[in-house]
Structure 1
Amino acid sequence: MKVLVVDDDQGSLLVAKAAVEQSGHQCLIAEDGDEAWKLYRSERPEAVVTDLEMPGLNGLELCRAIRDDGTDSYTYLVLVTSHRSRDDVLAGMQAGADDYVSKPLDPFTLHTRLLVASRVTSLHADLARYRVALAEQARTDPLTKLFNRLKLTEDLDELDNRSNRYGQDYCLALCDVDHFKSYNDLYGHPAGDKALQSVASALSAEVRRSDRVYRFGGEEFLLLLPHQSLAQAGILIERVRARVESLRIDHSGNPSGVLTISAGISASVQGKWTAGQRLLNDADLALYQAKAAGRNRVELTRAGH
């Protein structure tokens, strides 16, 4: 654990540093609150042991600054004070301190506080990892491992805002597996799930790193293509269509004899902001046209036309 010790008294500073290092932790030292704040922001220690009264930021101000910093990680704060009144202890806790020790500093007492700090910060780190994992899980389709509609809503809002503010164009492609209901009827739902996973992999393999692929629902997939013209998007999605066909997944219910997809593409208008929902509707219309024209094809449309 990385521990920052802050004290303007050299004797107390050396005692605290020795106690921290004897406890097996890395020790950083600062002689005033301003220096401590700079070290905290650059080094991000897991624990801070700070004097109450010192030049620059005092202990209470330093605790408040750390608590207001807004980082995901948790820093355990120990306030060191020569005052023993309940009011001083309460003021420290209200400023964000987790614990306090009295001067003169007892190395054993500090050692026990650091044991607690290690456990608490470790627990907070675990919770932060769980939050990240849960957030990813909530935005991921469990079957295909693609992003889901919740993530799409967030990303589409972000692209809308960027398009509106900076005039950055993007395209949207809606893909649908042809005759998928009959595929499930013929081969069973487990085979259908495996086919969807194969299609998802094919889509992901063809797009750029900046593109996003989502399972839109059932047998539908959606691709967000930032900084793509309609013509460029058409070339890309045609490659996607061909790649799915080249998988040669048997489908006797499809005229081609193999599993295929149809796709519709919409694009934002150059110099004119167009809401993402409108692009979705346009892509859906283009997809309908692709299916009406015989499936296993890509159709383009432009928002506002």
Structure 2
Amino acid sequence: MADDDPGSLLVAKAAVDRSGHDCLTARDGDEAWAMYLEHEPDVVVTDWMMPGRDGPALCRAIRARAADLYTYIVLLTSQGSRDDVLAGLQAGADDYVTKPLDPFVLHTRLLVAQRVTTLHADLARYRDMLTQQARTDPLTGLSNRLKLTEDLTQVHARSQRYEEEYCLAMCDVDNFKSYNDIYGHQAGDQALQAVGTALAAAARSSDGVYRYGGEEFLLVLPKQSQQGAKQMLERALHAVHALNIIHSGDPTGHLTISAGISAFTPAHHPDADAVIGEADAALYTAKAGGRNRVALAP
């Protein structure tokens, strides 16, 4: 509640308290803005004329601020001030109440405000869920190519700016086509899920693990040397082998993976796509060398 009239403020606070809501009060527009920034309330009820920021200025400031949740604004106006009502709504207010304040009318406005803010909170939650789903591979639960693009862009830019190194590891399930042919696609899906879980478990919390496509996975390893990445990927290869997924079509008799590692360093700084290409080329080197191994890009 923002109002420079102590009597009106007292009446309004009592009405809000009786409605079962927590109420903060401000005696001018500047104090109201500071309290809004600190507490981010669901509803702001503000007088039109106040010292500092007036009601419309407070409305515009709230609407100009990007916030996750919606703030419902009720403007207090004088009786019959139609121009004030229109100006307040154009400034961003959702509703208005005329003075002198009727506690019952304010109570009804707060009921509407609660419905609107609840709806906006639900919409924000659904947007977050859709955003997460759009960046998640539905089979493995790992991040997908869209999330990879976003994350790698940030890692690459930061590494360029601060002259830090990072590595990429392209991983591929060995002889996966024959695995699907022998055991079926449902078993193939389960195998990909198990491999993805093993890779995620082997990675650091700062690393990113992504389903790149088909039976391929990509790991983004910030602030990691190529030798450090190689040791980490060798542990990942052992973890996948330890799953003991039988594969009669593989010379080892078990499902295995191969990996190729590329590095971005202050002395070698191609663009992000080129770093991916180098990791992919190193993966082919690992495949050509007999699979179930890690190869480093030159």
The two structures have a TM-score, normalised by structure 2, of 0.98
Residue in structure 2 matching 1:148, options 141, 144, 149: 144
Residues 272 and 102 (structure 1), Cα distance of their counterparts in 2 relative to 1, 3 Å cut: farther
Alpha-carbon RMSD across the aligned residues, in angstroms, is 0.9
- In structure 1, what residue type is equivalent to 2:69? S
- Mark the runs of 5 or more structure 2 residues left unpaired by the alignment: none
The two structures have a TM-score, normalised by structure 1, of 0.96
Q: CA deviation at 1:271?
A: 4.8
1:104 aligns with 2:95: no
Residue in structure 1 matching 2:83, options 74, 87, 104: 87
Say whether the 8 Å CA contact 1:167–1:271 is kept in structure 2: no
1:295 aligns with 2:295: no
Say whether the 8 Å CA contact 1:163–1:273 is kept in structure 2: no
* Deviates most, 84-93 or 181-190: 84-93
What residue is the counterpart of 1:199 in the other structure?
A: 195
The 5 A counterparts of 1:155-174 are 155-174=151-170
Residues 232-273 of structure 1 deviation map (CA, whole Å, 9 limit, x = unaligned): 001001100110011110000000000000000000022553
What residue is the counterpart of 1:117 in the other structure?
A: 113
Identity value in percent? 64
3-state SS in 1 of match to 2:25: strand
Flag as ranges the 4+ runs of structure 1 deviating above 6 A.
none
What residue is the counterpart of 2:64 in the other structure?
A: 68
Say whether the 8 Å CA contact 2:163–2:265 is kept in structure 1: no
Looking at structure 2, the residues matched to 91 and 158 of structure 1 have their Cα atoms a distance apart, in angstroms, of: 43
Q: CA deviation at 1:157?
A: 1.1
3-state SS in 1 of match to 2:66: coil
Q: CA deviation at 1:168?
A: 2.2
3-state SS in 1 of match to 2:44: strand
Looking at structure 1, the residues matched to 269 and 41 of structure 2 have their Cα atoms a distance apart, in angstroms, of: 45
Looking at structure 1, the residues matched to 34 and 170 of structure 2 have their Cα atoms a distance apart, in angstroms, of: 50
Q: CA deviation at 1:212?
A: 0.5
What residue is the counterpart of 2:171 in the other structure?
A: 175
Looking at structure 2, the residues matched to 197 and 141 of structure 1 have their Cα atoms a distance apart, in angstroms, of: 10
- In structure 2, what residue type is equivalent to 1:191? A
Say whether the 8 Å CA contact 1:45–1:75 is kept in structure 2: yes
What residue is the counterpart of 1:55 in the other structure?
A: 51
What residue is the counterpart of 1:275 in the other structure?
A: 271
Say whether the 8 Å CA contact 1:6–1:36 is kept in structure 2: yes
Looking at structure 1, the residues matched to 143 and 130 of structure 2 have their Cα atoms a distance apart, in angstroms, of: 14
Residues 32-70 of structure 1 deviation map (CA, whole Å, 9 limit, x = unaligned): 111111110010100000000001111000000000111
Residues 88-124 of structure 1 deviation map (CA, whole Å, 9 limit, x = unaligned): 1110011100000000000000000000000000000
